[in-house]
Structure 1
Amino acid sequence: MLSVNTHNDWDPLKEIIVGSAENYTSHDRELSFDVFFHENLFRSDWAYPRLKSATEFDTSSRSWKIKEKYVQELSEDVENLAGLLQSLGVVVHRPMTLPPDSNFISGFGWQAPPVPALNIRDNTLIVGNRIIETPPAIRSRYLETRLLSPIFNEYFKRGAEWATMPRPILTDRSFDLSYARDTESTLGGPSEPIENPKESPFDLGYEMILDGAQCLRLGKDIIINVANENHRLAVEWLKRYLEPEYTIHTVYRMSDNHIDSMLLALCPGVFLARHPDIKKMMPKKFQSWKYIVPPEPDRNSFPQYNDDDLVLTSPYIDLNVLSISPERVLVNESCIGLIRELEKNGFETIPVKHRHRRLFGGGFHCFTLDTVREGTIEDYS
């Protein structure tokens, strides 16, 4: 194991953490979950399911069960991803396994069943030799990074900095609901209202909430998507912690939260983007980069689900690729249009099976956390 060193998403990959899908059995539908996935759960666009409330199908429980077949197939795909990375010479680390009988996580005024450390890009940001645990947005994921603690602890022993951003209390009133209640934001279309938040004696007002997957690392520059006051507060903390060594830029409401299914950097000077208008949202110094926009997703490239299957991501999730080097990219094998577009632009693609990315909220970039890449910090402007 080397010490942590990663400044972008494309330098040659040496070490990585691959998440675990084991014992992922359900989604806990409550306010923090619905706020986080609001754009996906309630939009009327063809990309999303036609849900109206958390209890549409099951009035006795807020727990949304996941079919065992999907969990087994997800586990197969994640393990194959880990094996492929190892075959490419990458050192692969894995989180601790979530026990099947884990107790509920308890906070001040709430409880939630924990989920495994699968989408590990979300709750950690790696910047240079720093491991930064970010303030979680979903209650069921509050302790998720503890499943990564043995890995982080070993990196700390080898010289990495290890910090944790302030942990939110996550009462109902911790969340800025303005984005969820704005029918004009991003993808558009009418949306169902989030339930009114309940008061709590532990209310602090809006708290810092931010996922690592909202951050795009470009050497000395870090671009962060901000969609609400929770994000803005967290960005202020990161600025105080990282500047002036790094320059923090913000883009406003590129998405509801994560940036890595809207925009990824493939190498210096080249982005993979969901649509061409993203360029206009970027800081001026990065508008001169090339923006590769793949064809619209083919609906036939996804499994067909039933009305009681909770779909958490749009069909654009397959933009969530993972770069092994500035020339080589792991891509979902079902995305023929994306593969052809990348190859047309000079990239070598490595097709990988990942079937149920829409049910579990993540692609290859989400399921992984690169900890060591060759290279040093640079200014790409």
Structure 2
Amino acid sequence: MQLNSFDEWSPLKEVIVGSANNYVSHERELSFELFFHDNIAGDNQSEWYYPRLRSRGSGPTGSPGVRVPVKQRYVAELNEDLQGLADALTSLGVRVHRPMDVDAATAEVRTPAWSASVVPPLNVRDNTLIAGDEIIETPPMIRSRYFETQLLKPVFQEYARRGARWTVMPRPLMTDASFDLSYARTSSAGGPTEPIEDPRPSPYDVGLEMLLDAAQCLRLGRDIVVNVSTANHALGVDWLERHLEGRFRIHRVHRLSDSHIDSMVLALRPGLLLCRSKAVHDALPGPLRKWDAIVPPPPASDGFPDYDDDDLILTSPFVDLNVLSAGPETVLVNEACPELMRTLERHGFTVVPVRHRHRRLFGGGFHCFTLDTVREGGADDYLH
């Protein structure tokens, strides 16, 4: 089928499901620390999201990276759960594509400016925006993911052969000087976190660059809502506005979160949102505040596995709001979330429970793990 995806809820026909094969380590360096520094502003989370570097006896955040091994039993179970997600989608009549695997011999990604351990194409939503009939590869915010979209190339090539547009946003050099540190240095929403050190100079410094993940975008037909929390994001949205002018309307929301918004707000169907809190709903652009919002009960503290002290916890307990709609009445939800499932069922949704155990270790839920490439919807105006 031809590439066609304008929204988050219309009947799903084709999707890419990510892979965790050969996930070996996390690279603790500046871009990683900035990305996982915080959660949503205003929710007053009291926990630290991962062990601080200094508490582990390592150098400051601005120093060369520290590679933290990922326990392979978690990776094996994650791959089992990803296959379960793919099987659930197939049972709903959705065609599932999978990315290429990172070769086991490929230990790192390297550019003239830096090197980092490579990350497999797991959260495939993050670095690719599907805007109607166009694939837009976005400039990554974590160095380890710099070439991640290359592992989606066989799928993208097939859509391009069928007529899809295919664009790559400008690729950043990603030296320390590329990053706007202001959000991390002023926000305390995630509790006391380690300060970000001064950036190290590099011969490749060009100043602040556009850095923008597609998971900062909420697609609503001809409208796209984008979260902007740093100058890096703003530069990316400036480019996106110019590129999509005349085809899409871009709406900026400021500091709704540190970056991604798909565990804060998702559109389940026209006129209905799933929101983490009323405060999130109130922070949305005016036309979206007219939509109804489902605010489910807070996640239960006993709904997550126990981990060792050296396991990095990368996401907040609200990660399970990261659901995937297979249609305007059908939602895939983590089976570990009975209250969320009951809440959606009370609103008339058919809930498809799918297992996902280690979502806090790998930074994503079902929406993150998938990239919907074909849905039935079009460039409708839902914000008139």
**Contact kept in structure 2, 1:19 and 1:119, CA below 8 Å:** yes
Equivalence for 2:53: 53
> Which whole-Å CA distance do the structure 1 matches of 2:366 and 2:48 have between them?
21
- 1:17-36 alignment to 2 at 5 Å? 17-36=16-35
Q: Secondary structure at the match of 1:277?
A: helix
Q: Which whole-Å deviations, capped at 9, do the CAs of 1:230-266 have from their partners, x for residues lacking one?
A: 0000000000010122110000011000010110000
Partner of 2:68: 64
- Determine which of 122, 130, 144 is the counterpart of 1:140: 144
1:272-292 CA distances to partner (integer Å, 9 max, x unpaired)? 000001122111111110011
Contact 1:29 1:54 in 2 (8 A): no
Rounded Cα–Cα distance in structure 2 between residues aligned with 1:10 and 1:265:
7
Give the SS at the match of 2:186: coil
Q: Contact between 2:305 and 2:358, CA under 8 Å: does it hold in 1?
A: yes
AA of the residue aligned to 1:4: L
Partner residue of 2:2? 3
- Structure 1 segments of 4+ aligned residues over 4 angstroms from their partners: 57-61
User: Is the contact between residue 54 and residue 62 of structure 1 (CA under 8 Å) also seen in structure 2?
Assistant: no
- Contact 2:176-2:201 within 8 A present in 1 as well: yes
1-side partners of 2:65 and 2:279: how far apart?
41
- Residue 348 in structure 1 maps to residue 350 in structure 2: yes
Which consecutive residues of structure 2, in runs of 5 or more, have no partner in the other structure? none
What is the correspondence of 1:110-259 to structure 2 with a 5 Å cutoff?
110-184=114-188, 187=189, 189-259=191-261
State the partner residue of 2:111: 107
2:13 paired residue number: 14
1:54 and 1:380, CA in 2 relative to 1: closer, same or farther beyond 3 A? farther
| Counterpart amino acid of residue 32 in structure 1 | S
1:375 Cα deviation from its structure 2 partner: 2.2
Secondary structure of 1:38's counterpart equals coil
| Structure 1 Cα separation of the partners of residues 65 and 268 of structure 2 | 43
How far 1:227 moved relative to its partner?
A: 0.4
5+ long unaligned stretches in structure 1: none
For 1:52, the aligned partner's letter is R
RMSD: 1.7
1:337 match: 339
Q: Relative to 1, partners in 2 of residues 1:274 and 1:84: Cα closer, same or farther, differing over 3 Å?
A: same
Amino acid in structure 1 at the alignment position of 2:131: V
One-letter code of the match for 2:6?
H
Q: How does 1:256-275 map to 2 (within 5 A)?
A: 256-275=258-277
Q: CA deviation at 1:340?
A: 1.1
Q: TM-score, normalised by structure 1?
A: 0.95
TM-score by length of 2: 0.95
Determine if contact 1:44/1:191 at 8 Å carries over to the other structure: no
State the identity as a percent: 56
